[in-house]
Chains A and B, each alone.
Chain A
Amino acid sequence: MNTPASPKQRLIIIGNGMVGHHLVEQLVEQGALERYQVTVFGEERHLAYDRVHLSEYFSGRDAESLALSTADYYAEHGIELRLNEAVFAIDRDVSEVVTDQDRYPYDRVVLATGSFPFVPPIPGNDREGCLVYRTLEDLDAIRAAAEHANTGVVVGGGLLGLEAANALRGLDLDTAVVEFAPRLMPMQVDSEGGELLREKIETLGVQVLTERATQRIEDGDTARHRMVFQDDKILETDLIVFSAGIRPRDELARDCGLEIGERGGVVIDDQCLTSDPQILAIGEVALWQQSIFGLVAPGYQMAKAALATLTDGETRFQGADMSTKLKLLGVDVGSIGDAHGNQNPGARNFRYLDQIKQEYRKLVVSSDGKKLLGAMLVGDNGYFDTLMQYYDNGLELPEDPASLILPSSEGAPALGPDALPETATICSCHNVTKGDICASLDAGAVDLATVKGDTKASSGCGGCAALLKSVVDHELTARGVEVDQSICEHFHYTRQELFDIVRIEGIKTFSELVEKHGHGLGCDICKPAVASILASCFNEPITDAAHIPLQDTNDTFMANMQKNGTYSVVPRIAGGEITPDKLVVLGQVAQKYDLYTKITGGQRIDLFGARLEDLPDIWGELIEAGFETGHAYGKSLRTVKSCVGSTWCRYGVQDSVGMAIRLENRYKGLRAPHKIKFGVSGCTRECAEAQSKDIGVIATEHGWNLYVCGNGGMRPRHAELFATDLSDEELFSTIDRFLMFYVRTADRLQRTSVWRENLEGGLDYLKEVILDDSLGLGDELERQMQTVIDNYQCEWANAISDPDKLKRFRSFVNDERPDPDIIMTSERGQLRPA
């Protein structure tokens, strides 16, 4: 162990980009640092960062969070990291690399210099405000230039061009894309796909100009620049981003006489060796069998091959698949293998085009129809994973291959995990196969988290998460491990089962339930879930002593905790109707307690920034003025949004505000698996947007139409028409039954929309249960709802009349002072967290 090792070899890595850094990680993990003293040169100021997610720099991520590592990591492993120091020559005669600071001797060199954006040789391309999109510094420059600009143009309609266009749009510029070819993304899609992509992108307000070759750029009249095209047409803009392809940064290799490809790129073999065996090249600078690989996964594979070369290992680079799955400007685009069908003579196509939904899919199959050679997707990448598996593993296609791209209500017929061979790649970022996952399970992993830790699967782009989970679940089941549906480790029951236990046995506290049917102390998953079940069944005040420890802080303090530990106060304003007197009170309370006020999307007023110890006083004043809690903190009924209806509106056919207020007062305080929102519109014009709510009510000449299971938020879903022309009473009883059935059968944190989508039998089944009473549950559901309604009390009114409950509203139990760390500043005339 202590024998003096032969002196370490000096390894120099030029370029600290994604691939160069991956090599460093490999060197560390594989113990190669025992043999090599490593020095890394990076021209950029920043340590290697995640270029793939570069655009997120504009949507809130900073350089630090994009970084792939830290200076400490390099230091800890004794790797010398010289950032901001470009190598400008490799002197092969004396085996030294040269920078403007010094000369550094080497035994081996790895070139990982990546590529640079190609700027077409157009006169005027160097004008101020003509930029590129590759580094953090480029993005800083774009951001700075955008401040004084109204319009922006991206030259180049490929993958990166569209990403740049999205960024310009995000900077509030009127954006256009200029492409030389007749369509967008000529590499990935054909003319139908390109046309569809254009339509989709134009609806987003980005102008698309194809078949335009820019001749020159000069001073503009209405904007900073004028671009003149081949037909003398012009386009004026303040800012231009060139994204016309990438070129390998092979200048160092060129200058020192290494073999370079005809169109650039440092020629390497399967071991990543260049024409000088002392020097290796990896990543986008390397040319392997006449190809440059402009994606990160092949670069990582090269890094692994280079490591093997440096450590006498076996791994070789054997080419890589260039299939891609992307979301560009919100549009799904996927391309697999020979997507154009021009590399395989005799190949046949299947194509599916839906101009209404704007989806396009194409399959390229072998002449005997048995193998998938390529595929192209625009509009819906839901089909990608399955197709990729057919392609990647050479699986035999089903009898009718078209079924793979035809729409079906469930999406593409999924290829079950058991149909995949062991060699199937599950995660392409980290090159993890189904075999690797099985190996991890065989070595003792029993859950997804451990498999992820073992294999790194799903820790790159994340695109494989769903597939990974289905493979792990399937393999676990196959190994006889029951895939656990239970709510958490403390109860071996689903939420629905727990609900039935509580209801049937009349259990009223968490401690009783955990004693009889669970074990341990519970956790932040089962406790709030059980609290919600208890409330749905018995509706005792959630601040009663037995329930307090169960609640999320929001429920405990009956206010929503904000990011600095203060709370928001949201009184109920049923139906969005409020008297001027009450409005004045809200203003006075906000002034007195220095609260930020904002009108919410739910037609009421939020008061933000309340300190814990002020909450009881604030609510005291609000309750005095006739307000009650709005339950904005609870998984419960939020608001019933309404339009002004027949009382004022000349189109209205019913009093939508009146109905909204009755509904809100009926269901306020109902605890549910998730929040519930309602909307009521006074006529079919639907100004209250009721069809985006869990419960939507729209007035008709004869009564009310009821819509259910809509959703806004992250995954919008239109509510479905459930019953028509209901009287007021019919409306109430139908909603009673519907909501109680949802409360009883949904999973924890499942909105009505997701519940409905997972409900076997779908809408028809739901109608049978609720409208035709097929389960004979109708009366019971209505009775149960009536219990909840009868037991309603305003939780705040209840709390402020109970000194014991008020004790909790102190920042410190032993000190009067407020939390000194809450610091506010002001913005637009109000306070906000500093």
Chain B
Amino acid sequence: MNTATALKDEAHTDVTWQPLCTKADLVAFSGVAAWLETAEGPAQVAIFYLPGLEQELYALEHRDPFSGANVIARGIVGDIKGDAVVASPIYKQHFRLKDGSCVEDDSVTLRTWPIRLDGEKIVIEA
């Protein structure tokens, strides 16, 4: 596991921590969307902020795979059996914030990115 991550970091030297937005842009216990430029092209990212939890920040793909609409950041955040999740606002499937996996359908997973707070800045690894 560890080696795999390390290798990946070496192989993709263009993957870096880049600033995305500021803490003031976030809404506690809810999501906002941000535009992300990466080497592979642009992406839309949903950022969730759960202050007080062990992991406070999460970055997931903003596109809802079931409807094709870019709306994940606008879903309701909650937990299912302790796992923090967001419910798609369109057809209500739940995605785990931790790894993007869909609770209702194992074959579907949203992309996730490492994300953290750097002072007042929110930085993402992409």
Interface residues of A (CB under 8 A from B): 489-490, 520-524, 526-528, 548-554, 556-557, 561, 563-565, 807-808, 811-815, 817, 819, 821-822
- For A812, list chain B residues within 8 Å (CB): 33-35, 44
Q: Is there an interface contact between A821 and B34, defined as CB atoms closer than 8 Å? A: no
With A563-B67, A563-B69, A814-B25 as known contacts, state yes or no: A553 contacts B75, CB within 8 Å. Answer: yes
Task: Give 11 CB contacts A-B under 8 Å.
Answer: A524-B87, A528-B76, A549-B28, A549-B76, A556-B74, A812-B44, A813-B26, A813-B34, A814-B35, A819-B70, A821-B69
> Does B50 sit within 8 A of A, measured CB to CB?
yes
- For B102, list chain A residues within 8 Å (CB): none
Q: Is there an interface contact between B71 and A815, defined as CB atoms closer than 8 Å? A: no
Please indicate which of the listed interface residues A526, A527, A557 has the most CB atoms of chain B within 10 Å of its own CB.
A527
> Does B118 sit within 8 A of A, measured CB to CB?
no
Q: Which of B30, B69, B82, B84 contacts A549 (CB 8 A)?
A: B30
Q: Is there an interface contact between B90 and A563, defined as CB atoms closer than 8 Å? A: yes
Q: Is there an interface contact between B79 and A521, defined as CB atoms closer than 8 Å? A: yes
- For B84, list chain A residues within 8 Å (CB): 521
Distance A565 CA – B34 CA, assembled complex (angstroms) = 16
Q: Is the interface of A mostly helix, strand, loop or mixed?
A: loop
Q: Which of B32, B69, B79, B90 contacts A522 (CB 8 A)?
A: B79
With A521-B50, A548-B30, A563-B90 as known contacts, state yes or no: A553 contacts B78, CB within 8 Å. Answer: no
Q: Is there an interface contact between B35 and A523, defined as CB atoms closer than 8 Å? A: no
> Does B108 sit within 8 A of A, measured CB to CB?
no
- For A527, list chain B residues within 8 Å (CB): 76, 78
Query: Within B75-123, which residues are at the interface with A (CB < 8 Å)?
Result: 75-82, 84-85, 87, 89-90, 92, 94
- Known contacts A523-B87, A811-B70; 9 additional CB pairs below 8 A are A520-B82, A521-B78, A523-B80, A524-B75, A553-B75, A556-B74, A561-B90, A814-B21, A817-B35
- For A807, list chain B residues within 8 Å (CB): 25
Q: Is there an interface contact between A521 and B77, defined as CB atoms closer than 8 Å? A: yes
With A564-B69, A565-B69 as known contacts, state yes or no: A814 contacts B79, CB within 8 Å. Answer: no
Q: Is there an interface contact between B35 and A561, defined as CB atoms closer than 8 Å? A: no
Distance A526 CA – B76 CA, assembled complex (angstroms) = 10
Distance A378 CA – B69 CA, assembled complex (angstroms) = 44
- For B15, list chain A residues within 8 Å (CB): none
With A528-B76, A549-B30, A817-B35 as known contacts, state yes or no: A523 contacts B85, CB within 8 Å. Answer: yes
Distance A523 CA – B47 CA, assembled complex (angstroms) = 17
- For B76, list chain A residues within 8 Å (CB): 523-524, 527-528, 549-553
Distance A551 CA – B77 CA, assembled complex (angstroms) = 10
- For A819, list chain B residues within 8 Å (CB): 44, 70
- For A549, list chain B residues within 8 Å (CB): 27-30, 76-77
Interface residues of B (CB under 8 A from A): 20-21, 25-30, 32-35, 44, 47, 50, 63, 67-71, 74-82, 84-85, 87, 89-90, 92, 94
Q: Is there an interface contact between A552 and B89, defined as CB atoms closer than 8 Å? A: yes
- For B80, list chain A residues within 8 Å (CB): 489, 523
Distance A521 CA – B50 CA, assembled complex (angstroms) = 9
Q: Within the complex, what minimum Cβ distance (angstroms) separates A491 from chain B?
A: 12
Distance A565 CA – B92 CA, assembled complex (angstroms) = 13
- For B47, list chain A residues within 8 Å (CB): 813
Q: Which of B25, B68, B79 contacts A813 (CB 8 A)?
A: B25
Q: Within the complex, what minimum Cβ distance (angstroms) separates A445 from chain B?
A: 16
Q: Which residue of B lies closest to A612 (CB)?
A: B74
Distance A565 CA – B27 CA, assembled complex (angstroms) = 20
Rank and list the top 6 A-B pairs by shortest CB-CB distance, nearest first: A523-B78, A565-B69, A524-B87, A553-B89, A815-B35, A813-B25
Q: Which residue of A lies closest to B37 (CB)?
A: A815
Q: Is the interface of B mostly helix, strand, loop or mixed?
A: strand
Q: Which of B74, B77, B81 contacts A561 (CB 8 A)?
A: B74
Distance A819 CA – B27 CA, assembled complex (angstroms) = 20
Q: Which residue of A lies closest to B76 (CB)?
A: A524
Distance A812 CA – B47 CA, assembled complex (angstroms) = 10
Q: Is there an interface contact between B50 and A811, defined as CB atoms closer than 8 Å? A: no
Q: Within the complex, what minimum Cβ distance (angstroms) separates A60 from chain B?
A: 16
Q: Which of A489, A521, A563, A814 contacts B20 (CB 8 A)?
A: A814
Q: Within the complex, what minimum Cβ distance (angstroms) separates A314 from chain B?
A: 34
Q: Is there an interface contact between A522 and B74, defined as CB atoms closer than 8 Å? A: no
- For A811, list chain B residues within 8 Å (CB): 33, 70
Distance A822 CA – B71 CA, assembled complex (angstroms) = 11
Q: Which residue of A lies closest to B50 (CB)?
A: A521
Distance A565 CA – B81 CA, assembled complex (angstroms) = 29
Q: Which of B30, B71, B79 contacts A523 (CB 8 A)?
A: B79
Distance A815 CA – B42 CA, assembled complex (angstroms) = 12
Q: Is there an interface contact between A553 and B74, defined as CB atoms closer than 8 Å? A: yes
Distance A565 CA – B67 CA, assembled complex (angstroms) = 9
Please indicate which of the listed interface residues A489, A527, A548, A812 has the most CB atoms of chain B within 10 Å of its own CB.
A812
Distance A553 CA – B20 CA, assembled complex (angstroms) = 23
- For A550, list chain B residues within 8 Å (CB): 76
Q: Within the complex, what minimum Cβ distance (angstroms) separates B77 from chain A?
A: 6
Q: Within the complex, what minimum Cβ distance (angstroms) separates A468 from chain B?
A: 19
Distance A559 CA – B75 CA, assembled complex (angstroms) = 14
Distance A738 CA – B27 CA, assembled complex (angstroms) = 38
Q: Within the complex, what minimum Cβ distance (angstroms) separates B78 from chain A?
A: 3
- For A526, list chain B residues within 8 Å (CB): 78
Q: Within the complex, what minimum Cβ distance (angstroms) separates B106 from chain A?
A: 12
Please indicate which of the listed interface residues A523, A524, A554 has the most CB atoms of chain B within 10 Å of its own CB.
A524
Please indicate which of the listed interface residues B30, B74, B77, B84 has the most CB atoms of chain A within 10 Å of its own CB.
B74
- For A528, list chain B residues within 8 Å (CB): 76
- For B75, list chain A residues within 8 Å (CB): 524, 553
- For B33, list chain A residues within 8 Å (CB): 811-813
- For A564, list chain B residues within 8 Å (CB): 67-69
- For B89, list chain A residues within 8 Å (CB): 552-554, 561
- For B50, list chain A residues within 8 Å (CB): 521
With A552-B89, A561-B71 as known contacts, state yes or no: A522 contacts B78, CB within 8 Å. Answer: yes
Q: Is there an interface contact between A813 and B69, defined as CB atoms closer than 8 Å? A: no
Q: Is there an interface contact between A813 and B77, defined as CB atoms closer than 8 Å? A: no
Q: Is there an interface contact between B78 and A813, defined as CB atoms closer than 8 Å? A: no
Q: Within the complex, what minimum Cβ distance (angstroms) separates A516 from chain B?
A: 17
With A549-B28, A813-B25 as known contacts, state yes or no: A565 contacts B82, CB within 8 Å. Answer: no
- For B32, list chain A residues within 8 Å (CB): 808, 813
Q: Which of B35, B77, B81 contacts A489 (CB 8 A)?
A: B81
- For A548, list chain B residues within 8 Å (CB): 27, 30
Q: Is there an interface contact between A521 and B71, defined as CB atoms closer than 8 Å? A: no
Q: Which residue of B lies closest to A563 (CB)?
A: B67
- For A815, list chain B residues within 8 Å (CB): 34-35
Distance A361 CA – B68 CA, assembled complex (angstroms) = 48
Distance A815 CA – B27 CA, assembled complex (angstroms) = 17
Q: Within the complex, what minimum Cβ distance (angstroms) separates A510 from chain B?
A: 9
Q: Which residue of A lies closest to B42 (CB)?
A: A820
Q: Within the complex, what minimum Cβ distance (angstroms) separates B42 from chain A?
A: 9
- For A524, list chain B residues within 8 Å (CB): 75-76, 78, 87, 92, 94
- For B74, list chain A residues within 8 Å (CB): 553, 556-557, 561
Q: Which residue of B lies closest to A816 (CB)?
A: B35
Q: Is there an interface contact between A553 and B71, defined as CB atoms closer than 8 Å? A: yes
- For A490, list chain B residues within 8 Å (CB): 78-79
Distance A553 CA – B70 CA, assembled complex (angstroms) = 13
Please indicate which of the listed interface residues A556, A564, A565 has the most CB atoms of chain B within 10 Å of its own CB.
A565
Q: Which residue of A lies closest to B47 (CB)?
A: A813
- For B20, list chain A residues within 8 Å (CB): 814
- For B63, list chain A residues within 8 Å (CB): 821
Q: Is there an interface contact between A521 and B29, defined as CB atoms closer than 8 Å? A: yes
Q: Which residue of A lies closest to B19 (CB)?
A: A814
Q: Is there an interface contact between A565 and B70, defined as CB atoms closer than 8 Å? A: yes
Distance A523 CA – B92 CA, assembled complex (angstroms) = 11
Distance A524 CA – B78 CA, assembled complex (angstroms) = 7
Distance A549 CA – B25 CA, assembled complex (angstroms) = 15
- For B67, list chain A residues within 8 Å (CB): 563-565
- For B25, list chain A residues within 8 Å (CB): 807, 813-814
